[in-house]
């Protein structure tokens, strides 16, 4: 493996109460090249405001709900989804 | 027509939804409207702002109307959800379903609103008479901005 692909920076989109909690609409998160959704979440939890996240927040990858074990690829659109309240 | 889902910022026109779900095939057309309620969980609400992860919300909403159309056997399923600032009594969501028979039309309408509430990434922040605003969390967890 080349060192250049050992790590990647992914952008995590934040909305509604989560955007308020982190004081931002997105976070740049550095993870290993073979990272999962759970790895991204672990990193997000190191940011100020993360104490307001529930134990298992919903995550979407490329606009689809994703399992914590799902692999993340460079360039993926990752989003934390607060409890939805449409209607 | 093909099943249609839209996120809109202008007021929802219920009659336009009914027209879109009408067809010579249909013996029943059901219109459901969700509106901003004045009191929620004992607190006086003056308005709501709706926000969305728009690209995903559009995609999920379209998936719901497509699935609903297949599941209930009609092409005439139309949904509009409003985003932005709404006042009490404003319509936040409109669903029209046309079907040959009323049982299926009622069932499809109910299914669409429940799926929408379960999985479309839309959030609402209620404005209260005391000037505060809070994001609504239907799961009952303490939301950001609330006392712990």
Is residue A37 included in any domain, yes or no? Answer: yes
Q: Which of B56, B119, B143 sits opposite A17 (nearest CB)?
A: B143
**DSSP single-letter state for residue A36:** B
pLDDT at residue A4, as a whole number: 55
User: What tokens appear for B97 in the block?
Assistant: 């379903």
Q: Which residue of A has its CA nearest to B138?
A: A85
pLDDT at residue A2, as a whole number: 53
Chain B residues within an 8 Å CB radius of A52: 144
pLDDT at residue B148, as a whole number: 29
Alpha-carbon span B126 to B131, nearest angstrom? 10
For residues A6-29, give the mean pLDDT. Answer: 96
User: What tokens appear for A3 in the block?
Assistant: 């060192």
Site of tokens 């999962």 = A36
How far, rounded to the nearest angstrom, does the alpha carbon of residue A17 sit from its chain's CA centroid? 15
Hey, are the CB atoms on B123 and A60 less than 8 Å from each other?
A: no
pTM over 0.90: yes
CA atoms in the 13 A half-sphere facing the CB of B27: 5
User: What tokens appear for A73 in the block?
Assistant: 């690829």
How far, rounded to the nearest angstrom, does the alpha carbon of residue B55 sit from its chain's CA centroid? 16
Is residue A66 included in any domain, yes or no? Answer: yes
Is residue A87 included in any domain, yes or no? Answer: no
User: What tokens appear for B30 in the block?
Assistant: 């059901």
**pLDDT averaged over every residue in chain A:** 93
| Domain total of chain A | 1
DSSP bridge pairs for B82: B8
Tens digit of each residue's pLDDT (9 = 90 or more) over B95-135: 999 999 999 999 999 999 999 999 999 999 999 999 999 99
**What is the value of ipTM here, to two decimals?**
0.91
Is residue A77 within 8 A of residue A11, CB to CB? The reply is yes
Chain A residues within an 8 Å CB radius of B133: none
Confirm or reject contact between B34 and chain A (CB < 8 A): yes
Give the DSSP per-residue string, B72-122.
HT-S-EEEEEE-EEEETT-EEEEEEEEESSHHHHHHHHHHHHHHHHHHS-E
Is residue B104 within 8 A of residue B65, CB to CB? The reply is no
Tens digit of each residue's pLDDT (9 = 90 or more) over A19-61: 999 999 999 999 999 999 999 999 999 999 999 999 999 999 9
pLDDT at residue B143, as a whole number: 44
pLDDT at residue B59, as a whole number: 97
All domains in chain B, ordered by first residue: 4-34+53-120 (3.90.1170.40)
pLDDT at residue B41, as a whole number: 86
**DSSP single-letter state for residue A84:** P
Residues 6+ apart with CB under 8 A from A60: A66, A77, A78, A79, A81, B53, B56, B121
Its domain, for residue A75, covers 3-81
Is residue A86 included in any domain, yes or no? Answer: no
Which positions of chain B have pLDDT values less than 70?
141-148
Q: What is the CATH number of the domain that holds A65?
A: 3.10.20.30
Alpha-carbon span B135 to B20, nearest angstrom? 33
How many contacts (CB atoms, under 8 Å) link A and B?
A: 83
CA distance A49 to chain B (A): 9
Edge-to-edge strands, sheet with B28-35: B4-8, B77-82, B91-99, B28-35
């Amino acid at each position: 493996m080349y060192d250049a692909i050992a790590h990647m920076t992914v952008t995590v989109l934040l909305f509604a109460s989560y955007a308020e909690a982190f004081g931002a609409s997105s976070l740049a998160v550095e993870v290993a090249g073979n990272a999962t959704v759970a790895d991204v979440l672990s990193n997000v939890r190191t940011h100020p405001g993360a104490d307001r996240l529930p134990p298992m927040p919903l995550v979407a990858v490329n606009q689809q709900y994703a399992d914590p074990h799902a692999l993340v690829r460079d360039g993926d659109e990752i989003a934390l989804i607060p409890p939805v309240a449409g209607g | 027509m093909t099943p249609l889902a839209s996120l809109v910022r202008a007021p929802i026109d219920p009659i336009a939804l009914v027209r879109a779900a009408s067809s010579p095939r249909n013996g029943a057309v059901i219109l459901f409207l969700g509106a901003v309620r004045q009191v929620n969980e004992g607190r006086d609400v003056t308005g709501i702002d709706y926000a969305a992860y728009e690209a995903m919300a559009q995609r999920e909403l379209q998936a719901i109307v497509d699935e609903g159309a297949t599941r209930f056997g009609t092409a005439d399923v139309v949904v509009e959800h409003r985003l932005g600032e709404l006042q009490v009594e404003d319509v936040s969501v409109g669903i029209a379903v046309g079907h040959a028979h009323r049982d299926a039309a009622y069932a499809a309408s109910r299914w669409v609103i429940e799926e929408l509430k379960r999985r479309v990434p839309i959030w609402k922040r209620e404005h209260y008479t005391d000037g505060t605003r809070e994001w609504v969390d239907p799961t009952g967890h303490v939301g950001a901005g609330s006392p712990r």
